[in-house]
Structure 1
Amino acid sequence: MSGLRDRGNLLPAAKLALLVVGTLPFVPLQMLAVRRGWALSRRLPLVWHRVAARLLGVRITVRGAPAAERPLLICANHVSWLDIVVLAALMPVSFVAKSEVGTWPVFGTLARLQRSVFVDRQRRSATASQARDIAGRLGAGDAIVLFAEGTSSDGTLVLPFRSALVGAAHAALEAGDHPEVLVQPVAIAYTRIHGLPAGLAGRLEVSWTGEVDLVPHLLFVLRQASIDVSVLFGTPVVFGRGGDRKAVTLAAERAVRRMLAGEIAGHDISAETSDGASGPILKAAETG
């Protein structure tokens, strides 16, 4: 019995050690790929996140599919730092991250290697230039993930989406290279821990809000045998040149809220999700 207990105590350390060992060769290769602009810089993080998800015991269920067309801005709810591992394990993406993330030890480096776009949400004067940076990446064909709540939530409710950075989609249109941008709502729902329904208490434990320190939360995740998460890709909204960013943002927020609530309640939400092939069917409201 004591032997089993000892192995259980070592398990989080073993997971962390394997993750570190697997990351070491990735870092210099990804640095070189990013510096040289190789296509590998988009694919390599996908492999790393899939390995990380497996080591962390994160089991991902996908409902719907990401849109195949580009430019693509993904608007998702935000529950935990685990969201990054989950989404990046599904497809090549880059993230919009707050500027302070770039200063964090280890995680800041990983964010830069993920080719994240850093924004300063406290400086409203910088919003336009930041939107142009995101627009440039969208125009280059990158799928960009925006956690549109602007902060993390408890995994049960969706906070109001902020429209300012959704304006990046409009800036991409103004660049003149694309007649429209797709804005796809995505819901992330943590559903089970150790194979048992997470419930409100379990989702609160998985969530990483501003009051929770990163290291203890990382240790909590490492201690879990498995964490199940559903990723629901909603029907994309077509954001055309006459589109209203506030209307687009609200449509994405409502779609994410419906998908999250339906998944948590165990309802059939197939009508809300996209097959990724039939194309978007929602048009953004036009400005008057």
Structure 2
Amino acid sequence: MIWLRYAYVALALFLATVILSPLQIIALWRGWTLARKMPRYWHMVACFVLGIRIHVHGAIETRRPLMLSANHTSWLDIIVLGRVADVAFIAKSEVRSWPIFGVFARLQNSVFIERADKRGTGRQVNSIAERMAAGEIIILFPEGTTSDGNRLLPLKYSLFGAASSAVPYSPDGTVHVQPVAVAYTGIQGMPMGRFMRPVVAWPGDVGMLPSLAGVIRARALDVDVCFGESVTFTADTKRKEAAAEVEGRMRTLLADRLSGR
């Protein structure tokens, strides 16, 4: 029976991709704002066929420019957050060349960062800042890697440079960085403890297909997405202090949700 489920998921995602991709390509080519919204429909289909139930706590900040700072457990985070809001992701440059996922990342108009290109850092940061100033919600995974889902890894504060760089582009001289916690809390209707959370976690030594197969076998997952209070960046903001404040709020959000508080 599991093979039937594999086939069902594969067929559903294939059809969604075939139908939506041409529309997204045209929207990107024409520069339509529809390009920001189209990926959400694909993520809706993916969440449905994978059996992902999303529980949202709090609300997305209404002020702009806005960056969401989220913890990173798995490739599932992208599907979950992409289902919740019309967003664009910051991704490392090598994702661009990944099979399947690289194509999806480009179709979602992700921002690709070349970490080794120190000379191009300013240009890359300014690109993010311009898109935020244009009203796009940008999602940053500041841990810089994936965790086991049970804790928040130390954040790389340098990644918040894009928020600081976006300040001059903002009409009121402020940029808002909102902490977000993505917590995997249930599997097949039962609470997911710390020992079951690796089912959804995607450590670097596990391939994409084995990870996807594990999620398909799980059949039903509950995910809590928690939005915290934003931290405001201005021209006078000290980046490290503001980033530390974001980190503290993320840590509290995640710990509270995983403990059921």
Asked if the contact 1:138/1:144 (under 8 Å) is kept, the reply is: yes
Contact 1:156 1:203 in 2 (8 A): yes
Deviation string 1:23-46 (CA, Å, 9 cap, x unpaired) is 101111100101101111111111
| Unaligned 5+ runs, structure 1 | 1-6, 268-288
In the alignment, structure 1 residue 98 sits paired with structure 2 residue 73 = no
Write the letter of the residue equivalent to 1:71: P
- Measure, in 1, the Cα distance between the counterparts of 2:150 and 2:123: 33
User: Which residue in the other structure is 1:136 paired with?
Assistant: 130
The question of whether the paired residues in 2 share the 8 Å contact of 1:93 and 1:142 is answered with yes
CA displacement at 1:176 relative to structure 2: 5.9
Percent identity of equivalent pairs: 44
* 1:47 corresponds to: 41
CA distance in 1, matches of 2:8, 2:231: 43
Match of 1:230 in 2: 224
Which whole-Å CA distance do the structure 2 matches of 1:231 and 1:122 have between them? 32
Find the counterpart in structure 2 of residue 164 from structure 1.
158
What is the CA–CA distance in structure 1 between the aligned matches of 2:159 and 2:126, rounded to whole Å?
A: 10
Unaligned runs of 5+ in 2: none
Q: Is the 8 A contact 1:172 1:178 kept in 2?
A: no
Question: Which residue, 171, 176, 180 being the options, matches 1:186?
Answer: 180
Cross-structure match for 2:200: 206
Secondary structure (helix, strand or coil) at the match of 2:223 reads strand
Q: Calculate the TM-score normalised by the size of structure 2.
A: 0.97
Aligned alpha-carbon RMSD (Å): 1.2
**Max radius of gyration: which structure?**
1
Paired letter, 1:159: L
The partner residue of 1:74 within 54, 58, 68 is 68
User: Do structure 1's residue 26 and structure 2's residue 20 form an aligned pair?
Assistant: yes
| Structure-1 separation of matches of 2:169 and 2:100 | 35
Within the alignment, does 1:10 sit opposite 2:4 as a pair?
A: yes
Misfit runs of 4+, over 6 Å: none
CA distance in structure 1 between the aligned counterparts of 2:204 and 2:118, rounded to whole angstroms: 21
What do residues 36-95 of structure 1 show as CA deviations (whole Å, max 9, x unaligned)?
011111111111111111111110000001001110011110000000000010110000
1:254 counterpart residue number: 248
Residues 1:123 and 2:117 are matched in the alignment? yes
Query: Which of residues 31, 46, 52 is equivalent to 1:37?
Result: 31
SS at match of 1:24: helix
Shift of 1:177: 4.0
